[in-house]
């Protein structure tokens, strides 16, 4: 083992200890062992309680809807933007598109709130131009049941991230294969699905996992822009954790571990699909 590998061992040991200690403590409390408040009996009742709760089930469906919508749109638009950047080859444009990546989600959420809310900049501009006669005639895009504002924040942040990441991969590809396919008469769609996609599919699957897990477990954006009647799983877990009755806290830990389990399952499914797709490591 070389010196570089030895140098990272303390980092992995320290971070691994913190992560596994937190997971063990969370699992312990979620199973009902919480001596601080007098709970010492191991039970799975808290998991059954949150999984059978209609409000949690509604939150789970809503969280999946937001995560899948934002992730698929980000991948689709981000990959398209990456090909556009590959053709233009303008470094200044690349830097401009990369700017949203550096902004925190909470800042972008506040920007969206000031921009597209019914009392925001766009609605006031429409009012001044006579497009609408009252402020409340502007469509409800913030705190709406469809989560338009939430998805808009995720798209603003994630499309550039997908574009920049995919562009870095496209710039390293063997473009000779594409030229050969063109010479053989392949259409653009055939070239994309038969040549380009197999080359970038691992990156696309990795981006899907990262974006889905982040948006699924996001807290601050749904908290600021969400509809109280449509809570995400993260907000539901926070509400349980912040209750004055500490005996409810194990349910919050159980819900957090359920969220982690869902992200793990989605990751495993994505990796399996990645191995089966062209360009994966399917074994015969």
Cα torsion angle, 269, 270, 271, 275, sign:
positive
Contacts of 126 (CB under 8 A, 6+ apart): 132, 138
Helix or strand (DSSP H, E) at 33: strand 33-34
**What is the pLDDT of the chain when averaged over all its residues?**
85
Categorize the per-residue pLDDT at 136 as very low, low, confident or very high, splitting at 50, 70 and 90.
Answer: confident
Mean pLDDT score, 261-266: 93
pLDDT in tens, 69-124: 999 999 999 998 988 888 777 777 778 888 888 889 999 999 999 988 888 888 88
Q: How far apart are the first and last CA of the chain?
A: 33
What would the mean pLDDT of 267-275 be, rounded to a whole number? Answer: 89
Scanning 3-133, the segments in alpha helix (DSSP H) are 3-30, 45-52, 54-88, 91-98, 105-116, 121-129
What is the greatest pairwise CA distance in the chain? 75
The answer to whether the CB of 78 falls within 8 A of the CB of 163 is yes
- Report yes or no: 120 and 114 within 8 Å, Cβ to Cβ: yes
Tell me the whole-structure pTM to 2 decimals.
Answer: 0.85
pLDDT tens column, 15-25: 888 888 888 88
Look at residues 92, 194, 90, 107 and name the one whose alpha carbon lies nearest to residue 153. Answer: 107
pLDDT tens sequence across 17-50: 888 888 888 888 888 888 877 778 888 888 888 8
CB 105 within 8 A of CB 112: no
Q: Strand pairing of 39-40 and 33-34? A: antiparallel
Distances (CA, A) of 62 to 12, 24, 236: 35, 28, 12
Grade residue 284 by pLDDT with cuts at 50, 70 and 90. very low
Q: Are 75 and 211 in contact (CB under 8 A)?
A: yes
**Angle of CA points 214, 24, 212, to nearest 5°:** 10
Q: How confident is the model at residue 176 (pLDDT cuts 50, 70, 90)?
A: low
Residue 159: pLDDT band (50, 70, 90) is: very high
Q: CA nearest 55: which of 267, 232, 246?
A: 232
Task: Find, among 145, 137, 148, the residue nearest to 112 by Cα.
Answer: 148
């Amino acid at each position: 083992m070389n010196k570089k590998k030895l140098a990272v061992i303390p980092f992995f040991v320290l971070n691994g200890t913190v992560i596994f200690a937190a997971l063990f403590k969370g699992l312990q409390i979620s199973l009902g062992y919480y001596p601080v408040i007098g709970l010492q009996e191991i039970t799975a009742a808290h998991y059954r309680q949150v999984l059978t709760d209609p409000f949690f089930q509604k939150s789970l469906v809503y969280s999946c809807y937001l995560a899948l919508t934002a992730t698929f749109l980000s991948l689709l638009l981000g990959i398209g933007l990456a090909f556009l950047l590959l053709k233009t080859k303008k470094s200044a444009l690349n830097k401009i598109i990369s700017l949203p990546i550096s902004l925190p989600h909470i800042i972008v959420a506040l920007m969206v709130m000031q921009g597209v809310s019914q009392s925001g900049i766009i609605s006031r501009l429409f009012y001044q131009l006579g497009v609408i006669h009252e402020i409340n005639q502007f469509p409800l895009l913030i705190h709406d049941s469809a989560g338009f504002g939430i998805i808009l924040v995720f798209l603003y942040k994630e499309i550039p991230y997908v574009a920049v990441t995919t562009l870095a991969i496209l710039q390293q590809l063997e473009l000779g294969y594409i030229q050969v396919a063109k010479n053989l008469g392949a259409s653009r769609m055939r070239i994309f699905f038969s040549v380009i996609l197999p080359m970038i599919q691992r990156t696309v699957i990795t981006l899907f996992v990262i974006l889905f897990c982040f948006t699924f477990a996001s807290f601050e954006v749904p908290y600021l822009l969400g509809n109280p009647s449509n809570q995400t799983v993260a907000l539901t877990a926070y509400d349980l954790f912040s209750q004055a009755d500490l005996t409810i806290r194990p349910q919050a830990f159980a819900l957090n571990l359920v969220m982690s389990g869902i992200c793990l399952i989605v990751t495993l499914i994505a990796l399996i699909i990645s191995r089966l797709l062209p360009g994966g490591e399917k074994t015969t």
